[in-house]
Amino acid sequence: MIEMQDVSKTYSNGVTALSRININIEQGEFVYVVGPSGAGKSTFIKMMYREIRPTHGTISVNGINLSKLRHNKVPLLRRNIGVVFQDFKLLQTLSVYENVAFAMEVIEEQPANIKRRVMETLDLVGLKHKARMLPTELSGGEQQRVSIARSIVNSPKVVIADEPTGNLDPDTSWEIMNIFDEINLRGTTIVMATHNKEIVNTIKHRVIAIEGGRIVRDEAKGDYGYES
Ligand SMILES: Nc1ncnc2c1ncn2[C@@H]1O[C@H](COP(=O)(O)OP(=O)(O)OP(=O)(O)O)[C@@H](O)[C@H]1O
Ligand SMILES: [Mg+2]
pLDDT at residue 146 above 80?
Answer: yes
Q: Are strands 56-61 and 64-65 parallel, antiparallel or unpaired?
A: antiparallel
Measured from CB, residues less than 6 Å from any atom of ligand 1 are 11, 13, 15, 17, 35, 37-43
User: Looking at the predicted structure, is the pLDDT value of residue 107 above 90?
Assistant: no
pTM for the model stands at 0.95
Q: Which atom of ligand 1 is nearest to the CA of 44?
A: 18
Residue 150 scores a pLDDT above 60: yes
Write out the residues surrounding ion ligand 2, Cβ under 5 A: 41-42
- What's the CA dihedral at 51, 54, 58, 62 to 10 degrees? -10
Name the DSSP class of 80.
Answer: T
Collapsing DSSP to helix, strand or coil, 183 comes out as helix
Look at 101-110, 154-163, 212-221 and tell me which has the smallest mean pLDDT: 101-110
pLDDT at 228: 56
Residue 119 CA to residue 83 CA, distance in Å, equals 19
What does the pLDDT read at residue 227?
Answer: 73
Of 10, 43, 191, the residue with max ligand 1 atoms within 8 A of its CB, to mutate for a pocket test, comes to 43
- 149 has a pLDDT exceeding 80: yes
Mean pLDDT confidence for 191-204: 97
Instruction: Please report the atom of ligand 1 found closest to the CA of residue 213.
Output: 14
Ligand 1 atom with the shortest distance to the CA of 195: 25
E strand or H helix at 148: helix 140-152
Ligand 1 midpoint to CA 137 (Å):
32
Q: For 85, left (φ over 0), alpha (ψ -120 to 50), or beta?
A: beta
Closest alpha carbon to 172 in 152, 143, 207: 143
